C-alpha cells in the first residue's frame, strides 16, 4: 500500500494542536506538529470566529514548517455540551430464498436503526454499529454469510447542534484547510488510550481538557455511552483564582507547576510566586475538592448505579488535567475502581511533544482514521466509512 498523508486538528479550549503525518500499512509517522494557545473558544465551542481562525492558522503554519509541505485537509475534533447520543435498534427480515445475510442487509438494518426523528437544527455526527443478532442470537460481530430470517443491529448514534458544527468548519476552512472528517473527541481519545482488553471487559474514558470533560464507555468491544460535561481544568483554575485571590492566568500557572492530589503529599510548606506567599495545603485542598467532584460526576454519567460491574477495567483519564500528580490515585480512592492515566502510544517521527495526555485526542483522530479504514476490510459494515466516513455519509460531505 502507498504511504498516504493524513492530518488532524484538535481545536481545544486551551490549546490548538495540528499534527501532520503519513501512514502505510497501519503505522504512523509524525512529520509536523503545531501547538498554540487557543483563542476564541469556550467549553469546546467557537465563540469568536476571527480569533479562533487566526489561532488555527498559526497552529497549521507551525506544523507545515516542520513537515515541509502545505496542509490541504485534516480530520477535525468536535466536542461541546450540544452533543447528544443514544442507542437505537434496527430490525429487518431476510426474505430471499437462500436466507443468507448479505452486506446490503447490514446497510438496510443500519439505515433503519439510524432513522431517528431529529429537529432541523441537529445533525448526525456518527452512527456506530455496536453489534448484530441473527434470529435472536446476540453478540454477532459480522453476520455476513450467516443463515437467518431476521437481522437486528444495535447502533450508537451521536448528534450535534448544526450551528456549533458550522461555526467550527467555517473557521477551519477560513484557515485554508479542507475537512476530511469530523470526529467526536472521546472516540478519538479512546482510540489512542484504551487497550482492546479494557474495551472488551468494560471501561470508561474521560478526556479532561480545559473546558470540557469528554466521556465514552465501552463493553463487549462496543461503545454504549458518550457524553460531554461542561466542566474541566478551567473550573479547577477558576477555584484557585477565587480561593487564593489571584488572576486566572497566574492561577493556571500555579496549578500546573505546584498542585498535586497525591495523598499525603501536601505538607505544611509554603511557596513564593511573583512576590506572594502561598500555602501548599490550601492550593492542594482547592484542587482536590474540584477534581474529586469532577471524577464523581464523570462516573455518574454511566447509565447504571452499579458502575463497578459496568466498568471492571475502571476509568482511564486523558486530557491535560490528567497531568495533575496523583489524579489516578485520588480517582481509585474516591470511586473504588481501577483508575489510570492514558497517554498516546509511542510514535515515530517528530513526536516528542505528543507524549502528553493532552495530545491523546489529536493522535487518536489519526488512529481513528487508520483503524476505520482497516476495519472496513474485516468488517463490512464499515465499508462506507472507508469511503468518506459515517459523518460524510450522514452529515453531508463537509467539503461541499
Ligand atoms: N500539571 C497539570 N496539573 C493540572 N492541570 C494541568 C496540568 N497540565 C495541564 N493542565 C490543565 O489541562 C487543561 C488543558 O487540557 P487540554 O490541553 O487537554 O485542553 P483542550 O483540549 O485545549 O480543551 P478541551 O478539550 O476542554 O476543549 C488546562 O486546564 C490546564 O490547566
Ligand atoms: Mg481536548
191 C-beta closer than 6 A to ligand 1:
no
Bridge partners (DSSP) of residue 33 are: 19
State whether 290 and 175 are in the same domain.
no
Question: In 129-161, which ranges are continuous DSSP H helix?
Answer: none
Counting Cα atoms < 13 Å in the Cβ hemisphere of 297 gives 16
Residue listed under C-alpha cell 448514534: 157
State whether 42 and 143 are in the same domain.
no
Could you tell me if residue 390 is inside a domain?
A: yes
State whether 174 and 243 are in the same domain.
no
State whether 182 and 256 are in the same domain.
no
State whether 323 and 376 are in the same domain.
no
36, 15 Cβ separation under 8 angstroms = yes
Could you tell me if residue 50 is inside a domain?
A: yes
State whether 289 and 241 are in the same domain.
yes
356 C-beta closer than 6 A to ligand 1:
no
Distance CA 6, CA 204 (A): 28
279 C-beta closer than 6 A to ligand 1:
no
Would you give the DSSP letter of residue 104? H
State whether 69 and 185 are in the same domain.
yes
Which of 118, 135, 160 is where one domain is finished? 160
Which of 358, 362, 363 most suits a substitution to test ligand 1, by most atoms within 8 Å of the C-beta? 358
Distance CA 38, CA 234 (A): 13
Q: How big is the chain, counted in residues? A: 400
234 C-beta closer than 6 A to ligand 1:
yes
**Consecutive H or E run containing 71:** none
Could you tell me if residue 75 is inside a domain?
A: yes
256 C-beta closer than 6 A to ligand 1:
yes
Instruction: Looking at the CA of 188, name the nearest ligand.
Output: 2
Q: What is the pLDDT of residue 386?
A: 33
Q: Could you tell me the CA-to-CA distances from 378 to 19, 140, 277, 375 in Å, in that order? A: 28, 14, 60, 5
3-state class (DSSP) for residue 21: strand
End-to-end CA distance of the chain: 28
The count of domains in the chain is 3
3-state class (DSSP) for residue 155: strand
357 C-beta closer than 6 A to ligand 1:
no
Q: What is the pLDDT of residue 1?
A: 65
Q: How far is the CA of 46 from the centre of ligand 2 (A)?
A: 13
State whether 281 and 351 are in the same domain.
no
Range of the domain at 381: 4-81+162-193+344-395
Could you tell me if residue 228 is inside a domain?
A: no
Cell numbers placing 325 = 500528580
Could you tell me if residue 207 is inside a domain?
A: no
- ∠ CA 90-301-216, nearest 5°, is 60
State whether 121 and 19 are in the same domain.
no
76, 9 Cβ separation under 8 angstroms = yes
Q: Considering only CA atoms, which of 225, 263, 252, 10 is closest in space to residue 128?
A: 225
Cell numbers placing 14 = 486551551
Q: Which residue lies with its CA nearest to atom 6 of ligand 1?
A: 321
- Ion ligand 2 residues within 5 Å by Cβ: 12, 209, 361
Bridge partners (DSSP) of residue 214 are: 207, 228
State whether 18 and 64 are in the same domain.
yes
**Ordered mean pLDDT values, 10 residues apiece, the chain (400 residues):** 90 97 91 97 94 98 97 97 93 94 93 86 92 92 93 94 96 96 96 96 97 95 94 97 95 95 79 87 95 97 86 97 97 96 91 93 96 45 36 32
Q: What is the pLDDT of residue 115?
A: 82
Distance CA 285, CA 283 (A): 6
CATH code where residue 281 lies: 3.30.420.40
State whether 133 and 89 are in the same domain.
yes
Bridge partners (DSSP) of residue 133 are: 152
Q: What is the pLDDT of residue 249?
A: 95
State whether 132 and 17 are in the same domain.
no
Residue listed under C-alpha cell 487497550: 195
Q: Which tens digit of pLDDT belongs to each residue from 122-143? A: 999 999 998 899 999 988 988 9
Q: Which tens digit of pLDDT belongs to each residue from 93-102? A: 999 999 999 9
233 C-beta closer than 6 A to ligand 1:
yes
**Consecutive H or E run containing 171:** helix 162-174
Q: What is the pLDDT of residue 373?
A: 56
Bridge partners (DSSP) of residue 41 are: 46
Distance CA 388, CA 373 (A): 10
Q: How far is the CA of 237 from the centre of ligand 1 (A)?
A: 10
Full strand arrangement of the beta sheet holding 203-208: 222-229, 213-219, 203-208, 315-318, 339-341
Q: Considering only CA atoms, which of 236, 207, 193 is closest in space to residue 318?
A: 207
Question: What SS3 string covers 126-164?
Answer: EEEEEEEEECCEEEECCCCCCECCEEEEEEEEEEEEHHH
Q: Which residue lies with its CA nearest to atom 9 of ligand 1?
A: 320
Bridge partners (DSSP) of residue 222 are: 219
Amino acid at each position: 500500500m502507498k504511504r498516504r498523508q493524513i492530518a488532524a486538528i484538535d481545536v481545544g479550549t486551551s490549546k490548538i494542536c495540528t499534527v501532520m503525518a503519513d501512514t502505510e500499512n497501519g503505522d504512523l509517522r509524525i512529520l509536523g506538529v503545531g501547538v498554540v494557545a487557543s483563542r476564541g473558544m469556550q467549553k469546546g465551542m467557537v465563540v469568536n470566529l476571527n480569533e479562533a481562525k487566526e489561532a488555527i492558522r498559526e497552529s497549521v503554519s507551525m506544523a507545515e514548517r516542520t513537515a515541509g509541505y502545505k496542509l490541504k485537509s485534516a480530520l477535525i475534533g468536535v466536542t461541546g455540551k450540544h452533543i447528544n447520543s443514544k442507542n437505537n435498534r434496527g430490525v429487518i427480515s431476510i426474505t430471499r430464498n437462500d436466507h443468507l445475510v448479505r452486506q446490503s442487509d447490514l446497510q438496510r438494518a443500519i439505515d433503519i436503526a439510524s432513522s431517528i426523528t431529529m429537529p432541523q437544527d441537529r445533525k448526525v455526527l456518527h452512527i456506530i454499529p455496536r453489534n448484530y443478532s441473527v434470529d435472536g442470537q446476540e453478540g454477532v460481530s459480522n453476520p455476513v454469510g450467516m443463515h437467518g430470517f431476521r437481522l437486528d443491529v444495535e447502533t450508537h448514534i451521536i448528534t450535534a447542534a448544526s450551528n456549533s458544527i458550522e461555526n467550527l468548519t467555517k473557521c477551519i476552512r477560513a484557515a485554508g484547510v479542507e475537512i476530511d472528517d469530523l470526529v467526536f473527541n472521546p472516540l478519538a481519545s479512546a482510540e489512542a488510550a484504551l487497550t482492546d482488553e479494557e474495551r472488551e471487559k468494560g471501561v470508561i474514558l474521560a478526556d479532561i481538557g480545559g473546558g470540557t470533560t469528554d466521556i465514552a464507555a465501552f463493553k463487549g468491544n462496543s461503545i454504549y455511552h458518550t457524553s460531554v460535561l461542561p466542566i474541566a481544568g478551567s473550573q479547577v483554575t477558576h477555584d484557585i483564582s477565587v480561593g487564593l485571590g489571584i488572576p486566572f492566568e497566574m492561577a493556571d500557572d500555579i496549578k500546573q507547576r505546584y498542585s498535586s492530589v497525591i495523598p499525603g503529599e501536601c505538607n505544611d510548606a509554603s511557596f513564593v510566586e511573583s512576590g506572594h506567599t502561598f500555602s501548599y495545603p490550601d492550593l492542594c485542598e482547592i484542587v482536590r475538592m474540584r477534581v474529586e467532584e469532577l471524577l464523581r460526576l464523570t462516573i455518574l454519567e454511566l447509565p447504571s448505579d452499579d458502575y463497578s460491574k459496568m466498568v471492571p477495567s475502571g476509568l482511564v483519564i486523558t486530557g491535560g488535567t490528567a497531568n495533575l500528580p496523583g489524579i489516578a490515585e485520588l480517582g481509585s480512592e474516591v470511586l473504588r475502581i481501577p483508575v489510570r492515566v492514558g497517554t498516546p502510544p509511542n510514535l515515530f517521527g517528530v513526536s516528542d511533544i505528543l507524549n502528553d495526555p493532552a495530545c491523546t485526542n489529536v493522535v487518536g483522530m489519526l488512529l481513528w482514521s487508520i483503524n476505520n479504514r482497516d476495519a472496513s476490510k474485516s468488517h463490512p459494515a464499515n465499508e462506507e466509512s472507508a469511503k468518506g466516513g459515517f459523518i460524510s455519509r450522514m452529515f453531508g460531505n463537509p467539503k461541499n
